[in-house]
Amino acid sequence: MSSPPLVSPVSHPHDLPVLDWTHRLTQLGPRFFTHLQPTPVAAPRWAARNEALRVELGWPNALFDDEHLQAFAGNALMVGSQPLATVYSGHQFGQWAGQLGDGRAIWLGEAASAQGPQEIQLKGAGRTPYSRGGDGRAVLRSSIREYLCSEAMHGLGIPTTRALCLVASPEPVRRETMESAAVVARVAPSFLRFGHFEHFSAQGDMDSLRLLADHAIAHHLPECRERAVLWQGNMYAALLDEVQERTAKLLAKWQAVGFCHGVMNTDNMSLLGLTIDYGPFQFLDGFDPGHICNHSDHQGRYAYGRQPNVAYWNLYCLAQALASLIDDQEMTLQVLEGYKTLFPRYLGDAMRAKLGLVGDLAPEFEREADWTLVEDLMQLMAAEKVDFTVFWRQLSQAVVVQSTAVALTDAGWSGVTDLVLDRPRLLKWLSLYTERAGQNNFAAMGQQMLRSNPKFVLRNHLAEIAIRQAQAGDFSEIDTLYNLLKSPFDEHPGMQAYADLPPDWAGQLEISCSS
């Protein structure tokens, strides 16, 4: 299908820009990106508009009017935007993959917002010099998944790129079968990846590497300045340390909610510690540490239980890239060591919160005892592949129920004991848990647990239903899911079906890298 030319710029009113743009990234110079125009798509339609995010960012209504539909489709340019694609490299599935880059995501600029400057990218807006063999497009299926999961993660309190809107087009796109095109507008303070640093390091271009690191510190991670005190004033060691800590926090949150990313290549790792590049991700149904959500991941490199180690491996790649700037090998290794204590600490705290056992100041022996409790429970869940989300939510509910009883009873735990075959083993665990918690605390704990254990996550089969309806022209299920997932800890009366165990057909869904 031939593409119509880009139409005139979008502006409101009388050529005043709707967003207030800056372009600090462009100051880095042409080695970092290529200016280009999005490729228009035929007959765009709104598939979803994220009003809550628009309001949160303080952006005007006009952003979601018909003229902006053309801009978010890549058929027109917003006044003040300066579209470009950036270059990066990376390690994919453990191998150096060389140059990659934004092959289908087009950067429009940074727009001032109530939350500080936000970069906007159109994902699926056409080919770029970094597309390699790709068509520069994204299919509706994977774009719906990205739109919904970005907002689901945000609702869960997990750092992520956000999704502002989703535009669908009937334009055909070839994947395993013929599908149709879509463009997601995604938003983040920065889309910098580990791979951006690996790129210039691999090229031996130290000037660009330094420019990029200085840019990241000045505009996105100013806390590195203070952190440098811990590293003899070495700002680049502080940068690695900051990224390392954010990554450890992120991974703890992923693990605690049962999120599998699926493609943790270094080019899919955000410098800001955001979840980025939603592809074959999955929220666990049955708990299985070896679960592989990406059908293209034959070795299980990115299995759920391996994610924390893979993140460390990726940080190692970032460290190699930054090593010449840090210029102190021992210090670089010392920074990396941090992950080994930070990650278990964050995961421990996240799991303790799921059990209602909060308290950052808990002494070490208590944390260790709590971790034993967590491990025992996880082993029990793994043995039976108990549904991860349902179990934790039911446990939270059961604690609330028990808190209202005169005395604890086995029947009071039926919400969770009904979920397992080995009831005696779970009852034994529950008695240890009760001993640790002290029944008096149950009311407060139950409330805490209901805020730590979501009722709703974006299971594959839920996304699939929204996708099938959207492919048939009805986008309403996207909104239904969006409304649940943006407040996943709320009860949402009448929507229980969305919190139930997955249907049998969910096990047959195959999610690959193809997007």
Q: Which does residue 389 bind out of ligand AMP, Mg ion, none, counting CB within 5 to 8 angstroms by kind?
A: none
**CA 492 to CA 480: how far, in whole Å?**
11
* Residue with Cβ nearer ligand AMP (137 or 196): 137
Q: Which does residue 197 bind out of Mg ion, ligand AMP, none, counting CB within 5 to 8 angstroms by kind?
A: none
DSSP for 92-134 reads ETTEEEEE---SSEEEEEEE--TTS-EEEEEETS---TT-TT-
Among 89, 113, 150, 268, binds Mg ion (CB under 5 A): 268
Least distance (Å) from ligand AMP to the CB of residue 168?
16
Tokens 């992923």 map to which residue?
Answer: 254
102 binds Mg ion (CB under 5 A): no
* Residue with Cβ nearer Mg ion (191 or 304): 191
**CA 178 to CA 243: how far, in whole Å?**
40
Would you tell me how many other CB atoms lie within 10 Å of the CB of residue 476? 11
* Residue with Cβ nearer Mg ion (39 or 268): 268
Whether 267 is a known active-site residue: answer yes
Give the active site residue among 20, 66, 205, 267: 267
Q: Which two tokens stand for residue 230?
A: 């811990």
Site for Mg ion in 118-177 (CB under 5 A): none
* Residue with Cβ nearer Mg ion (268 or 417): 268
* Residue with Cβ nearer ligand AMP (254 or 433): 254
Least distance (Å) from ligand AMP to the CB of residue 101?
5
Q: Which does residue 143 bind out of ligand AMP, Mg ion, none, counting CB within 5 to 8 angstroms by kind?
A: none
Amino acid at 164: L
Amino acid at 322: L
Under 8 Å CB-to-CB from 310, ≥6 apart: which residues? Answer: 264, 301, 302
**CA 113 to CA 97: how far, in whole Å?**
36
Least distance (Å) from Mg ion to the CB of residue 496?
35
Binding site for ligand AMP (CB under 6 A): 100-104, 130-131, 134-137, 263, 268, 277, 279, 513, 515
DSSP for 306-361 reads GHHHHHHHHHHHHHHHHHHHH--HHHHHHHHHHHHHHHHHHHHHHHHHHTT---TT
**Window contacting Mg ion (CB under 5 A); options: 79-87, 261-269, 445-453, 469-477:** 261-269
Tokens 């508009």 map to which residue?
Answer: 49
Q: Which two tokens stand for residue 78?
A: 């917003």
Binding mask 274-303 for Mg ion (x = CB under 5 A): ---x--------------------------
Q: Which does residue 108 bind out of Mg ion, ligand AMP, none, counting CB within 5 to 8 angstroms by kind?
A: none
**CA 327 to CA 206: how far, in whole Å?**
12
394 binds Mg ion (CB under 5 A): no
Question: Binding residues for Mg ion, how many (CB under 5 A)?
Answer: 2
Q: Which two tokens stand for residue 180?
A: 């149709």
* Residue with Cβ nearer ligand AMP (269 or 390): 269
Scanning 228-328, the segments in alpha helix (DSSP H) are 235-257, 307-326
Least distance (Å) from Mg ion to the CB of residue 341?
30
Tokens 């598939």 map to which residue?
Answer: 47
Q: Which does residue 101 bind out of ligand AMP, Mg ion, none, counting CB within 5 to 8 angstroms by kind?
A: ligand AMP
For Mg ion, the binding residues (CB under 5 A) are 268, 277
Residues noted as catalytic: 267
